[in-house]
Amino acid sequence: MKKNQINKERRKQLMRKLKSKYRLVVMNDATFDESFSAYLTPLNVIAGVAIVFLTMTVIVLSIVILTPLKEYIPGYSDTQTRIRALNATVKVDSLEQAQAVYTSYFDNIRRILNGEVETDTSRMALGGEAEEYSDLDFTVSSQDSLLRLEIESEERYALSPQSQSVSASLGLPGTLLFPPIIGTVTSDFDLEVGHYGIDVAAKEGETIKAILDGTVVLASFTSDGGNVIQIQHANNLVSVYKHNSILLQKVGDRVEAGDSIAIIGNSGELTDGPHLHFELWYNGTPLNPREYIAFSS
């Protein structure tokens, strides 16, 4: 009790000292005339110093934050630097992914050339199971070779009668269009509803072929068309192949009529089963592919 009483007395004395009034006098040193005087308390002095300090701190921080002076602070990076750093990080990540794809591709090529692949991986890539063919006899007879040569020479460009007139309508004299796939047309060309091509359903795993010699100008993925490949042909003729599961060509590749360019699939949002959406454009105008190509056997 006595100790608590002593502490209370000390606190009261301290508060009396802080509230005690002192007179601040400014005098002329020569004449001793009073120029200025004011009554102050230690508590007012402490509060005044604190207010001045806080005001100066706010002013300095405002100048640093709202002016270019902040760029001279060690360790600070401006907005443009951060944007460039972010873009560089994104590019590095993309390059790492591309490098991983190319590394895997060349590793597979090396294994194939070295004879290290023992199973048929093509069926596995299409969702099937690998099969063992080591016990099968793949020897080609002379009759089979002759038959193959005969069929290839006669049927390689076996097209519909309509395609014979393509030279007159498309300005490609002597040119025949190779069917990209043989199947069933499930949706026809219709300009009124904005369907600028036809949909052809076929077996899963069927290959899509180029209709004519040309250069691949697009091989990418879109949300509605899935895996899309587009080929630029002569005389402003363009062919478009959508919803593929796998693209076999890349931008810049030169293809010939009948070359495999993709695998039929069901990619993209605007699809409800394995099929090919095929478009044919001439001078920026969509054409009905069924008028130039036979899609059924």
Res 253 pLDDT > 90: yes
What is the arithmetic mean of pLDDT over 161-173?
51
Residues 190, 193, 194, 198: what is their CA dihedral angle, to the nearest 10 degrees?
A: -40
pLDDT in tens, 94-151: 888 888 888 888 888 888 888 776 555 444 444 445 455 556 566 667 777 777 777 6
Q: Beta strand pairing status for 246-247 and 207-209?
A: unpaired
Question: Who wins on pLDDT, 12 or 175?
Answer: 12
151-to-145, 157, 183 alpha-carbon distances in Å: 10, 10, 20
Residues 204/127, Cβ–Cβ less than 8 Å: yes
175 contacts: CB under 8 Å, gap ≥ 6:
166, 167, 212
What is the arithmetic mean of pLDDT over 219-235?
91
Percentage with pLDDT > 90 across the chain: 28
Where in the chain are the domains? Answer: 160-291
Q: What is the band of 71 on the pLDDT scale with cuts at 50, 70, 90? A: low
DSSP secondary structure string, 165-231? GHHHHHT-TT--PPPS--SEEEE--BTTTTB-EEEEE--TTPEEE-SSSEEEEEEEEETTTEEEEEE
Structure tokens, 250 = 């890349």
Q: How deeply is 174 buried, as exposed, middle or buried, from its count of CB atoms within 10 A (0-12, 13-18, 19+)?
A: exposed
What is the arithmetic mean of pLDDT over 67-88?
72
Q: How deeply is 257 buried, as exposed, middle or buried, from its count of CB atoms within 10 A (0-12, 13-18, 19+)?
A: middle
Q: What is the mean pLDDT of the chain?
A: 80
Res 171 pLDDT > 60: no
Structure tokens, 229 = 């490949």
Question: Who wins on pLDDT, 171 or 15?
Answer: 15
pLDDT score recorded for residue 248: 93
Q: Which residue has 């110093």 as its token pair?
A: 49
pLDDT score recorded for residue 25: 81
Residue 61 has, within 13 A of its CA and on its CB side, a CA count of 6
Architecture of domain 160-291: Distorted Sandwich (2.70)
pLDDT in tens, 273-294: 889 999 999 988 999 998 888 8
Distance CA 229, CA 267 (A): 12
pLDDT score recorded for residue 277: 93
